[in-house]
Amino acid sequence: MEIIQPRRAIPVADEADILVVGGGPAGIAAAVSAARHHAKVLLIERFPSVGGQATNALVNIWHTSDRRKQVIFGIVQELIERCGDGVRRYDDYPARCETHEFDPSAMRIAMHELLDDAGVKTVCHLAAMESIIEDGRIRGVLADTKTGRKAFLGKIVIDATGDGDIAANAGVPFDFGRESDGRVQGMTMMFRLCGLDERLINSDRSIGEKVFEKMKALHAQGKMPPFLDLAARSYLTHARSHGVSYNMTPVAGNPLDEAELTRLSVQARRQVKQYAGFWKQEHPGFAKAEIEQTGFWLGIRESRRIRGLKTLTADMVVHAQKQSDAIGHGFWMVDIHDPKGSGHTTWADQKKDSMPPEGESYHIPLGMCLNEHIPNLAVAGRCASATHEGLASVRVQTHCMVMGQGLGTAAALALDARSEMREVDIPKLQRKLQSDGVYLEDVPAPA
């Protein structure tokens, strides 16, 4: 069944030089960097606040180190410093890729202030519904507001929706899922507990080990939902004195299907309740534990991957490949959460051949953000051009912010030069990024 809508005039609500759709980490970095380079920037976000997974899904760990030194700075470092006491750097820094843990509420405020200070006009509560395409270029998007559908226009549009909604609606080709069966990475509902007896949990870790073994046995009998083994064991045997978001609640399905996403969200919250109830019953250190918070939505790791001028692959990641159009560095492993929802992740395997060697990193190329079809439309974040395996590395928030900062700067330079983004002066872009605090080393000459 179809409903035919009559043609009607759509009022223009706002316009800018650069329109960024999506206020997660990638979109924030793109908007701020473009505004700092003298572009008029409008950012629209579907939820009530910016920050995406970082502030609304309790995904509060950042990665900045190649395991020997910090290699991600720029806007990431600015936000770390802005948050002050709201960020804790791990004691073993920089020996692991995971380097910082932050309070989502503090980060939300810091992100809004960063946007305000840069002069970005930010409007939340706006879900973009349709791309406006004329003569092979994007003019902007349509969004439903409380007073009707309206248009938001930009000379350049950056799709930072995570799902690549704007690019896909504009007709840009994309890939979805792994080659074998089309499934995307599993999702996780993050949660927090309070009321733990940390002294007891940490002083007698054998109790937690026994509870963990019981969980495994019950799961084998079909009486316990799946969970990420390594994470669950750690939470049961090492209580955190600082607030920690538990990452052990796997579900799997299609994140582009709203009905399925609703069902999976409810399923994941029920799993959280079951884990917490079992721990409360079986472990004295969790006897007074309560669920303090669950994520506002599921942590989605993968959906559409827009086909770009360059595609990041697993080989590029694990061999620390350098790129002439580099906009920053990445180093995270090929971290695939089982697309069938078992809870297994390649992170738990800790295989050396799944990540760059210690002390090395790969380049994130500008070309993975650009496409052949619409020259004034680009993407930033987990919807950028990568294979299923390549995305499993570059999808983490800090890497998405590197991408966003590079792309936002490139967009502003393209406007200044009255050129397309694919024609931007790459050495000039790289010098700008370095002057803005981005770590960018070992850039090869163009082929």
Residue 289 C-alpha from the chain's centroid: 30
Lowest mean pLDDT among 260-269, 350-359, 435-444: 350-359
Lowest mean pLDDT among 16-25, 276-285, 348-357: 348-357
Partner residues linked to 144 by β-bridges: 127, 149
Q: In the 8-state DSSP scheme, what is residue 389?
A: H
pLDDT, position 240:
74
Q: In the 8-state DSSP scheme, what is residue 221?
A: T
Task: State the average pLDDT over residues 156-176.
Answer: 98
Average pLDDT across the chain, whole number? 96
Residue 142 C-alpha from the chain's centroid: 24
Give the sign of the dihedral formed by CA 13, CA 16, CA 19, CA 24: negative
12-180+302-435 CATH choice from 3.40.50.1100, 3.50.50.60, 3.60.10.10, 3.40.50.720: 3.50.50.60
When pLDDT is cut at 50, 70 and 90, the band that residue 138 belongs to is very high
pLDDT, position 227:
97
Task: State the average pLDDT over residues 129-153.
Answer: 97
> What ranges in 60-155 are assigned the alpha helix state H?
74-83, 104-118
Taking the CA atoms of residue 28, residue 29, residue 31 and residue 34 in that order, the dihedral angle to the nearest 10 degrees is 170
Rounded to 5, what percent of the chain is helix, strand, coil?
35, 20, 40
CA distance 117 to 331: 30
SS3 44: strand
CA distance 385 to 175: 9
| pTM tops 0.85 | yes
pLDDT, position 347:
83
Taking the CA atoms of residue 391, residue 393, residue 396 and residue 399 in that order, the dihedral angle to the nearest 10 degrees is -90
Partner residues linked to 362 by β-bridges: 330
Q: Read off the amino acid at residue 133.
A: I
pLDDT, position 397:
98
Task: State the average pLDDT over residues 201-229.
Answer: 97
With a cut of 90, say whether residue 29 has pLDDT above it.
Answer: yes
pLDDT tens figures, 372-426? 999 999 999 999 999 999 999 999 999 999 999 999 999 999 999 999 999 999 9
For the chain, the structural domain boundaries read 12-180+302-435, 187-294
Q: What stretch of H or E contains 279? A: helix 258-282
CA distance 145 to 158: 20
SS3 298: coil
- Going by C-alpha positions, the residue among 62, 63, 30 that lies closest to residue 162 is 30
Partner residues linked to 154 by β-bridges: 16
Q: Are 54 and 27 in contact (CB under 8 A)?
A: no
SS3 239: coil
When pLDDT is cut at 50, 70 and 90, the band that residue 241 belongs to is low
Lowest mean pLDDT among 5-14, 174-183, 239-248, 271-280: 239-248
With a cut of 70, say whether residue 242 has pLDDT above it.
Answer: no
With a cut of 80, say whether residue 352 has pLDDT above it.
Answer: no
The angle subtended at Cα 329 by Cα 19 and Cα 172, nearest 5°, is 40
CA distance 50 to 231: 28
- Encoding tokens for residue 222? 């079909």
SS3 391: helix
SS3 233: helix
pLDDT tens figures, 291-343? 999 999 999 999 999 999 999 999 999 999 999 999 999 999 999 999 999 99
pLDDT, position 60:
95
pLDDT, position 243:
65
Q: Is the N-terminal amide bond of 94 cis, ω within 30° of 0?
A: yes
- Encoding tokens for residue 68? 């020997």
pLDDT tens figures, 95-131? 999 999 999 999 999 999 999 999 999 999 999 999 9
With a cut of 70, say whether residue 46 has pLDDT above it.
Answer: yes
pLDDT, position 348:
81
